[in-house]
Structure formats: C-alpha cells, structure tokens
Structure 1
Amino acid sequence: MNFSQILLVLRARKKIILLTLLFTVAVTIIVSLVLPKTYKATSSVILNYKGVDPLTGISMPGQLLPGYVATQIDIISSKNVALRVVDALKLAQSPAIIEQFNDAQDGQGSLRDWLADLLLKKLEIVPARESSVVEISFQGADPQFVAAVANAFADEYQRASIQLKVDPMKKATSYFDSQSKVLRDTVEAAQSRLSKYQQEHGIVSVDNRLDVESNRLNDLSAQLVAAQGQLMEANSRQRMAAGESGESPDVAGNPLIQNMKVALSAAESKFADIAQRLDKNHPQYQSAKAEVDQLRADLKAQTRVTSNTVGNNAQILMQREAAIRTALQEQKNKVLELNRTRDELNVLQKDVENAQRAFDATSMRLSQTRIEGQSEQSDVAMLNPAVAPIKPYGPKILLNTALAIVLGTMLGLGLGFLLEFFDRRVRSQADLSDLLDIPVLGTIDWHQSQRRPSRFNGMFLRRSNLSVNS
C-alpha cells in the first residue's frame, strides 16, 4: 500500500477516525473532571551546606563522592525515615486510619509499616542537576496534610542523618574507652618495671655516671701506657745493671760511685808511686795496697747496691703496671656493665614512651569521638520548607486532553485501518490493477462537469462525460 492509497483509506474512514478521537477526548475530559483533586507540596533540603565539620575542623568530602547524593536519596526514601514520619505525625493513632487499615488488611500486619508503605508510594525525591539541593515532594488530597508530610520527611531525614553519624561514634567511644583502660594499665606496668630496674641497680642518672666512668677509663688507659713505657725502660736498665756495671747509666751516674772511682783512682796512683819506690814488705806499701783493695771492695759493693736499686725500681714499676692493668680491666667491665644497664634502661624507657604515646593518642581520639557522639550537628539543612498548595497539582486537564488527542488519533487510525483490512474496497485504479492483475485501459469520471451546458445540449438529459485513457 502506497502513500496515495493510505490517503484514500483515511479519507474514506475519516468519520470513524474522528468519532474515535472525539470519544477518547470526551472520556478523558470527563474522567479528569470526575477524579478527585490532588495537591503536591515540596520541601527543599541542602546537603553539606557548611563543608567543614564544626567539631574537628576537617573538610567533609561527602559532596565529592559520586554516590553521596544517591545515598542521601535512598536514606530519605527508606522505611526507617517513613516510620519516623508516621510516629512524628501520630498517624497510627488516628481512628479513621485504623479503620481503613482494618478494612484493607483485615487487621493483618503492622499499621505503622502499612502507613509507611503508603507514604513512600506518594513520595517523590528529585535531586538538583548541578547542586546539593534535594527536593522532597508529597502528593495527596489534603493541602495541609501533604505540606506536613513533606516537612516531616525533611525533619526526620535530618534526625536520621544525625543518628547515622552519632551511633557509630558512640560505638567507637565505647571501644576507645576500653582500649584506653588497657593502654593505661600498660603504661603503669612499663613505668613500674622502669622504676624497679632503677632501684635494683641504684641508677639516678646513667648518662652522667657513664661519662665519669668513661673519663676514668680513659685516664687509666693513659696511665697504663705510661707505666708500660716506664716498665720497659726499667727492664732495660735492670738488664744493663745486671750485666756489665760500667756500662749501666744508673751505676755510672751515681755520685757516690763516681766519688769512689775518683778516690780509687787517686789511691791507685799513690800505690803505683809507692810500689816503684818501696818494697812490698814496706809498711807504706802495705798500707797503700790495703787502701786500694778496700776502695775496690767498697766500689764493687756500692755498684751491687746500685744495680739492686735499679732492679727494685723495675719490680716496683712492674707491680704498678699490673695494678693499673687490673684497675683498667675492672673499669672496662664497669663501663660495659653501665652500657648494658643503659641499654636495658633505654629499652624500658622506650616501652614507657611508646605506651604513653599510644595512650595519649587513644585518649585524644576518645575525647574527639565522645564529643562527636554527643553532637547534634548535621550536614543537612532545610532550604525551603513546604507550604500548603493553593492550586491542585492534578488532574491536569490540558495535559490529559493533549495526550487524549494523541491517543485518540492513534486509536482512530488503528481502527480505520483495521476496518479497511476486514472490508477491502477498490478506491483507485492501482487497487483494481493489483486485485485483478490486469492492466487498466481507462477510467470513467462519474462526477459532473463544472462547465455550464450550452443551448445546444441543454435539451438533453444530464449524462456523464466519458474519458478514455490509453
């Protein structure tokens, strides 16, 4: 079926189409007038209107989350908020509503849940496209009631949002309180171990004592080095003194020995002179020789005494070096013990500091969560409260009529084509050619000619003009 055939069908079925259109529009208008009027009230709330938590001073990133507004819409349309609205407006206490519930549910179920479901069915929540404003709308037959319900939803949503924020904080407060007690006991135990350790070891100030002992250790080390040098020198002198006495500087440098050597040299000179002049049996010769022998014996004895004195000095230096070495080892052990004590004390002090730091952090968090748990601040604010509407929201007669025109036109066209499908007629030469499958040689125009009849053909009867197409 081509476009010209569709136009022919529409022209032929125009009465059916117009009647269907008129009937649809009339029924729509009548129903719109008969239906009860409905009113719609809208309350607007704004989310995250401050942007900063009044307690912590931290910027709240809620509005930056993609699903934040959607989450708030789900909270508003939740059954929890609807039940709060039912309780706030005391709807479950109305005798008329109780009677309606008994008629609708036969007394089965919960009245509050039934009312909450009814309220949610007529609730409409629309978020703004590029802002944090959310509109809460409610429809009903009573203007005052719809405004009250819209405002109640906004108010209860604020309270629910506060409760959703406060309840976790209260649980966190309980947790931090228990942890604070545990950490306080840990701090006390660590402090007790530190004090007990200091008392057992008599520690007042480990660092100062360690400095003194370290200085003493350094002094002993220097003394040991000096004593070892002196001992080495004394051993060398002892060996030289024990060997050839004349080569020992200690023996040679002794003033008494030097004087005795001078006296011995003089005596030997005197004896040599006497020996040249006198015989060995002469008394002077005997006296001079006896003097020389006595001086030699005294020199040898004094040399032995001086050598023994050098050896005794070496022994004294050896004992001193051994004593310094022993004192140095004891001092080293004492310093090592102080280092170990300081390390253990540092570990105990670190335990106390760590426990104290954890306790302080927990106490600070406990104070903050306790304050937040007691806060009634909300990040939701009422922007525009709902007012009782003056004009009804529905039914919308003009909109319904426009829709009825569209729907009636579609129904009329459908009905016209349906009748044409069951009662197919020849309306053009194309229909005849398609139906009989033969070519059309000509058509007869049964309409009267528009030209006026002349005097020559006025006497004849009206007849049809014949038009032949080949």
Structure 2
Amino acid sequence: MNPSTFNTRSAAGAPLLTNARGLEPERLPIIRQYMHIALRWRYVIIGITVACILLGLVATLLMTPKYTAEVTVEISRESNRVTDFQGVEREASVADQEFYQTQYGLLQSRSLAERVATQLRLVDDSKFFERFGVSDSDPAFQEVNGRYPASGRAVRQRIAGEVLLDNLNVTPVRLSRLVDVSFTSPDPAFSAKVANAWAENFIQTNLERKIQATSYGRNLLQRQLGQLKERLNESQRQLVAYASAQRIINLPAQSGGDGRLTSERSIIADDLAALNASLAQATADRIQAEARYEQAGRAGASTEALRNQAINSLRQRRAELAADYQKLMTQFEPEYPAAKAIQSQIDQLDRSIGREEGRVSGSLQADYREAVERERALNSKVEQLKASYLDLRRRSIQYNIYQQEVDTNRALYDGLLQRFKEIGVAGGVGVNNVTVVDPADIPQRPSSPRLLLNLALAVIAGLGLGVLAAFALEQIDESFADPEEVERRLGLPLLGSVPKLTEGTPKEALLDRKSTLVDAYLAVQTNLTFSTEHGVPRSFAVTSTRPAEGKSTTALALATMLARAQRKVILVDGDMRSPSVHHLGGVDHDRGLSNFLAGQDDITSLTFPMSDLGFTAMSAGPIPPNAAELLTGTRLQTLIERLLQSYDHVVIDSPPVMGLADAPLIASRVEGVIYAVESHGIRSTMVKTALSRLASANARVIGGVLTKFETGKAHHGYGYEYGYGYGRDDKAARS
C-alpha cells in the first residue's frame, strides 16, 4: 500500500487524517499560531499603533487645560421628626439603595442645573457660553446692544443647564453616606463656584420639596376626605332606602355587661326567640296536662281528685256512715230500718262522690285540650316566623352588603381624617438631611489633559486595534484558493483539482474525452490507484461539507473514468433526501436504494443502465420519512457486499456531512471516502468540523478533491493554468 494516503489513530483511538507524505499534519501550539499571525501582519499592527500614538499626542497637545473642583456632601436616610406619624415608606434597611439612588438622580436633575445657572447669572453671561464653545447661531444668542435678548432666556437657561450637567460628575463614596460632587471647566475659580452653588441649591431644593410635599399632601387628603364623605353619605342613603323598601327593621345595638356594643338585631329574630320560648313552655304544659288527664281516668285516683276538699268531705262522711253501718250489722240485719237508712245515705254519698270526680275529670280534660290548642297555635306561629326569618335572611344579603360598604367607607373616612390631622402637625417639622462636609476649594493644578496617561492609552488602543485588524484579516478569507491549501489547512491528501465548468453540463463534459474535466478526473483516478494495496478502493463514497460543492459530479466522473478503464462499476445514489442520479439516466426514482434498505432483496429491478457513460446506476428510490433510520441497520452493508459480487467498484454519491447523519453512516460502511471541497466557496472551519464528524464515525478519508477551481483566483495561478490549458489553445488555433 502506498504510504501517501492512509489513516492512523491517536492514543485515544480516534482516527487522525494524514497528509500526502504519510505524516500527521503539524499542530502548532496556540501561542505559536498567534505569533505567526502577529508576524505576518506586523506592519499593520505597528502602523496602527504608531498612528494611535501620534493621534493621542496631537490630541493631548491641542486640549485646553481643565480644572476640577469637588465638594463633599452627606445625605442622611431620614430627617428627625417630632411626631409619631407613620408614613408609607419601608424600613431603611430595605429601601436604602433605592433612597440613595434617588438622591444621586436628583443631584443630576435638569431642574437643579437650571436653578444653579440662574442663581450664578450664567443665562445672560456671554463669556460662559464662549468658554464652553456654545454656538451663537441660535437667535437666542444674538446680542442686541451688547446684551442677549430677553425672548431667548428660556432657551439659554435650558442650554446652560445642559452645559453644567455635561461637566458635572457625581461620585458616591463607597460604604458611606458621602457623595463627591465635582465640576470641571477651564477656569479653576469658576469650577469651585459652580460646585459650591450646586451643593447649596441641592440643600434648598430638598427643603422646598418637603414643604411642597406637605402642602400637596394636605390638599390631596382634603380632596380625598370630601370624596370619602360623599361616598359614606351615599352608601348610608342607599342602606336606608333598601331597608325601607324591603321592610327590614333592626333594633339598635346595645351595650353589654362588658361595655361592648352588640350588633343590630331584627324584630323578627326577637319575636321568634320569644315565641320559641313560649312554645317550649306550652309544650311542657301540654305534657303535664296530658299526664294529669290520663291519671284522672284511673278510678278517680288523680291528684286533683285527692286534693279536692268537697270530695274529701264526702268521703269522710261516707267513711263515718260506713262505720255506723258496720256497727249495726253486728246486731241487726240489713233490712233493719236504721241500717237501711244509713245504707241509703251511703249510696247517696257515693253518687255525690262520683259526680264530683266526674266534674274534676272533665276539668282536667278541658285543661288538656286547652293546652293542646295553645301548643298548636304557638307552633303554627313559630313556623310562620321561621319562614319570615328565612325570607328576611335572604333579603338581608344585599342589606349586609350595603352595611359592609357603609362600615368600610366610615373606617376609611375616620382613618383619613386622623391622618389629615396628624399631617398638619408633622408638616415641615424636622431638620434637613443634607449637609456640606467639605466645600470646594479653587484647584491649583489642571485635572486634564494628562500626557503620559493619554500616550499609554494610545499605545494600548493602538496595539488592541492592530491585533484586532490582524485577526480580522486572518479570518476574512477562509476559502481554499490553492490546491495545496487542502493539505496544509486540513491535513488531507490532495487527490486532484477540478476546474470550474464555464458552459455545458458535467455529463456533456464527461462525454467529451478531450475536456479539461476528463483530464482532471483522470488525474484523480490515477491518485486513487495508490490509495490501497489493491489499487482503487472497491467501495467508496463521495461526500462534501454542504450541497452544491461538486460531490455528485465527482461521483459521476469517477464512475465514468473507472468504466472507461474496463472496470465494471455501479453508481449508487445515496442521497435519499435530494436525489440526482436518476436525472442523469432519464428515469424516475420510484425504485432504488430506499427499497432495498426497506427490505426488498431483488437488486436487479432497482438498477438502470447508463450506456452513454458505460456503467450501471441505482437511484435513491422513494424518499423515506427518515433516511438516517434506514441507514442505521445492516442492510447497506449487505447491499455493498452483494454488489461487489457482481461489480468491480461500488461508487456511492453520499449526502453532505453538515446537518445530516446520513454521510457518517454511509462512510462507516465503505472502504474509503473521497471528500469534495469547493474552491473559493467553502470555509475551512466548516470542512474541519465535517471531517471531525467523519473521524468520529471511524470513516477512512482517502483524500480531497478541490472542485470548481479557477486558476485566475489562485495565489500561484501560472502553474495550474499551465496544467489545464497546455496545448489546447494551439489545437484550437490549428483547427
């Protein structure tokens, strides 16, 4: 085997592409790569650096000296208060950052700047505007009799404030309440005056803002009180109107034993409670009357009969007569006149006792009936009151809603009224929370420009811009301009370069055996004969990084060259996503590779002859839903093995590598891969990424073919032009 093209493996087992001399491509350390770029573009870096230094020097010398005056102020979180009025602010530990950021923003506010400009009378000072280079093209700056017009005062005030803000700097002192306010200008005394005036006006505006906030708060609360008062009255009227319409009468609240007021009570609820108590008493009376009535029915042994005085007198008299009768019976017969008289009295007494007991029993029965009727009447009344109470509860839902609204409005009104009274006491009470710690002094030395610092910054900027320019120039052109760059950049053996067709189709050029395309692919075929021990690989795939780089043309041309070398060749269209081989044969792709991968074993019905080019072809077949799933099995390996039984070479037109899993799957099943690289069209980084994917799939990349090569764009065009055009112009002239 020729050592010019083979694969080796790293210590980790990953395949490494070798160059044409059988050696691994040199991998420069990253520092050496940067040094190489810097040396290549050293004049660009030096030129940009020198230009930046000169620019910085000139700019520094032309700058006007400026002086910075600084005043230090302390901003406390809150001022002292003499009332216990609680506002709506959060605790200081939570809102400190928000508070101080607000103060820093107020220090740089436009209103404060215009206030300082007005106080220092800068609005009408022409020297101030000239000092800071303000253009006098505006009508507000056109002097009349040596003075600015009054009509443009508002414009000048705005511009003066903007000028002051542009030259002001607010710097908080870290982890403290101190703030440094500095002002820079060409005049040191003016800088100190503006800085001190800025601090003083900030303190004044802070006090004025508190007074305005108090006045605004009182006015706002007064308006809100009026609105709440109206809402409270309206809700009360609404409550009374609804109660009148629905005849809802509630007793007023009463104070309990603990001094607390009870809630309002409805009359129906009180009546129901009273009647319910009466019903319970009536039920007890009825049960008691029923018991007495039932007891009276047991032979006059009722309690009322036993307690009746008349019955007891009659029974006592009967007992006496019965004793006398028994005494006479000891001596006489019952027919004895005296005994008969006594017996007659006893019978009369028994009848009297019976009548009295009947009268008592009738009285008990009447009492029982009366108790039953009273219980029934009270029960009926209670049921009516229950229905009325339930109806009242239903009608009281809206009444309670209105009552809640009245209570809410009254609570809001009382709270707001209390706050209104307190804010009148708290307004304007307290000390100012901003104080001047160090007033500004007149600076003795200019703060800018600083020559050494500017030159150092110019050197750093120049070096940075120079390095960026060098890297930009290095990265701009990643295309392959010369065939030798395929090996130098990719570490890939170069099998040949193919010129770009200016007219006609690749098939027409292949049919013309005198075309430059045929010569180029003959050279590629010749180099392929040295890639393995048995010459041209029996099975190989042709792929590229992306579509339209010439891989299909390369596969077609190599199949044609091998067929003309008296080899039996079959070209398989492996791109089942965007097939193209069937167009060259003038057939459809309804039968082809995807059919075999899906399980069909009859290969002959899947191929078609390409007689004009001398080989057999297999189309991609029907486009499957997912081509990668068909390629993951062993059917592709089986197809290649069966084709090699009938053909000398199997050439597969593979899909592009980037973005698809098809090409690595096909590359791992063939003996080698030929990689097509488009000249002047593809970036080397994309090709390296694609080659890494093939290496991860353990694919053997035999070499690369530079396609669509234009000699006029090459760095060394003479050599390549000579190779492709030698003798053709002379022959054309002779013909």
TM-score category of the 2 structures, normalised to the smaller one = 0.5 to 0.7
Aligned to 1:310: 361
Once the two structures are TM-superposed, the CA of residue 172 in structure 1 deviates from its matched residue by 5.1
Once the two structures are TM-superposed, the CA of residue 148 in structure 1 deviates from its matched residue by 1.7
Aligned to 1:387: 441
State the alpha-carbon separation in 2 of the partners of residues 71 and 203 from structure 1. Answer: 54
Please state if 1:299 is matched with 2:330: no
Please state if 1:256 is matched with 2:314: yes
Once the two structures are TM-superposed, the CA of residue 119 in structure 1 deviates from its matched residue by 1.9
Please state if 1:153 is matched with 2:185: no
State the alpha-carbon separation in 1 of the partners of residues 370 and 457 from structure 2. Answer: 128
Tell me if structure 1 keeps the 8 A contact 2:221–2:416.
yes
Tell me if structure 1 keeps the 8 A contact 2:81–2:430.
no
Tell me if structure 1 keeps the 8 A contact 2:282–2:374.
no
Aligned to 1:364: 418
| 3-state DSSP of counterpart to 1:125 | strand
Aligned to 1:421: none
Greater percentage in helix: 1
State the alpha-carbon separation in 2 of the partners of residues 59 and 148 from structure 1. Answer: 37
| 3-state DSSP of counterpart to 1:104 | coil
One-letter code aligned to 1:73: Y
Q: Structure 1 pair 107/83, CA: closer, same or farther in 2 (3 Å)?
A: same
Aligned to 1:463: none
Which of 39, 42, 46 aligns to 2:67? It is 39
Q: Structure 1 pair 303/149, CA: closer, same or farther in 2 (3 Å)?
A: same
Unaligned runs of 5+ in 1: 1-19, 412-470
State the alpha-carbon separation in 1 of the partners of residues 172 and 370 from structure 2. Answer: 100
* 1:158-237 superposed matches below 5 A: 158-161=203-206, 173-187=218-232, 203=252, 205=254, 224=282, 227-237=285-295
Which of 145, 159, 173 aligns to 1:114? It is 159
Q: Indicate the larger mover: 91-100 or 296-305.
A: 91-100
Q: Structure 1 pair 206/234, CA: closer, same or farther in 2 (3 Å)?
A: farther
State the alpha-carbon separation in 1 of the partners of residues 382 and 159 from structure 2. Answer: 90
State the alpha-carbon separation in 2 of the partners of residues 223 and 174 from structure 1. Answer: 64
Q: Indicate the larger mover: 213-222 or 260-269.
A: 213-222
Once the two structures are TM-superposed, the CA of residue 328 in structure 1 deviates from its matched residue by 8.9
Tell me if structure 2 keeps the 8 A contact 1:38–1:139.
yes
Count the aligned residue pairs. 369
Once the two structures are TM-superposed, the CA of residue 137 in structure 1 deviates from its matched residue by 1.4
Which of 104, 108, 122 aligns to 1:73? It is 104
Q: Structure 1 pair 234/70, CA: closer, same or farther in 2 (3 Å)?
A: closer
Please state if 1:85 is matched with 2:109: no
Which of 319, 336, 359 aligns to 2:370? It is 319
One-letter code aligned to 1:227: D
Q: Deviations over 1:61-95 (max 9, x none)?
A: 38954465454434323322211111121211336
Tell me if structure 2 keeps the 8 A contact 1:51–1:60.
no
| 3-state DSSP of counterpart to 2:441 | coil
State the alpha-carbon separation in 1 of the partners of residues 346 and 457 from structure 2. Answer: 161
CA root-mean-square deviation: 5.6
Aligned to 2:595: none
Q: Structure 1 pair 141/206, CA: closer, same or farther in 2 (3 Å)?
A: closer
Aligned to 2:297: 239
Once the two structures are TM-superposed, the CA of residue 261 in structure 1 deviates from its matched residue by 4.5
Q: Deviations over 1:335-356 (max 9, x none)?
A: 9999989x99999987665443
Tell me if structure 1 keeps the 8 A contact 2:82–2:429.
no
Q: Structure 1 pair 79/52, CA: closer, same or farther in 2 (3 Å)?
A: same
Q: Deviations over 1:313-366 (max 9, x none)?
A: 44235535755786798799999999989x999999876654433222222344
| 3-state DSSP of counterpart to 1:240 | coil
Once the two structures are TM-superposed, the CA of residue 163 in structure 1 deviates from its matched residue by 5.9
State the alpha-carbon separation in 2 of the partners of residues 311 and 336 from structure 1. Answer: 38
Once the two structures are TM-superposed, the CA of residue 116 in structure 1 deviates from its matched residue by 1.9
Aligned to 1:132: 177
One-letter code aligned to 1:356: R
Q: Deviations over 1:199-249 (max 9, x none)?
A: 966657486999x9999879857854663454133212332247x99xx86
Task: Give % identity.
Answer: 18
| 3-state DSSP of counterpart to 2:175 | coil
Once the two structures are TM-superposed, the CA of residue 149 in structure 1 deviates from its matched residue by 0.9
Aligned to 2:674: none
Tell me if structure 1 keeps the 8 A contact 2:64–2:186.
yes
Q: Deviations over 1:250-291 (max 9, x none)?
A: 799733124225415634764796558xxx7xxx64x75455
Greater percentage in strand: 2
Aligned to 1:94: 125
State the alpha-carbon separation in 2 of the partners of residues 405 and 325 from structure 1. Answer: 113
State the alpha-carbon separation in 2 of the partners of residues 223 and 106 from structure 1. Answer: 103
Q: Structure 1 pair 172/332, CA: closer, same or farther in 2 (3 Å)?
A: farther
Q: What TM-score comes out, normalization by structure 1 length?
A: 0.57
Please state if 1:105 is matched with 2:137: yes
Aligned to 1:5: none
State the alpha-carbon separation in 1 of the partners of residues 78 and 418 from structure 2. Answer: 25
One-letter code aligned to 1:146: S
State the alpha-carbon separation in 2 of the partners of residues 368 and 329 from structure 1. Answer: 59
Once the two structures are TM-superposed, the CA of residue 39 in structure 1 deviates from its matched residue by 3.4
Tell me if structure 1 keeps the 8 A contact 2:69–2:192.
yes
Q: Structure 1 pair 233/120, CA: closer, same or farther in 2 (3 Å)?
A: closer
Tell me if structure 1 keeps the 8 A contact 2:210–2:428.
no
Q: Indicate the larger mover: 344-353 or 126-135.
A: 344-353
Q: Indicate the larger mover: 299-308 or 350-359.
A: 350-359
Q: Structure 1 pair 37/236, CA: closer, same or farther in 2 (3 Å)?
A: closer
Once the two structures are TM-superposed, the CA of residue 150 in structure 1 deviates from its matched residue by 0.8
State the alpha-carbon separation in 2 of the partners of residues 382 and 53 from structure 1. Answer: 21
State the alpha-carbon separation in 2 of the partners of residues 91 and 400 from structure 1. Answer: 32
State the alpha-carbon separation in 1 of the partners of residues 387 and 377 from structure 2. Answer: 15
Tell me if structure 1 keeps the 8 A contact 2:68–2:182.
yes
State the alpha-carbon separation in 2 of the partners of residues 172 and 149 from structure 1. Answer: 33
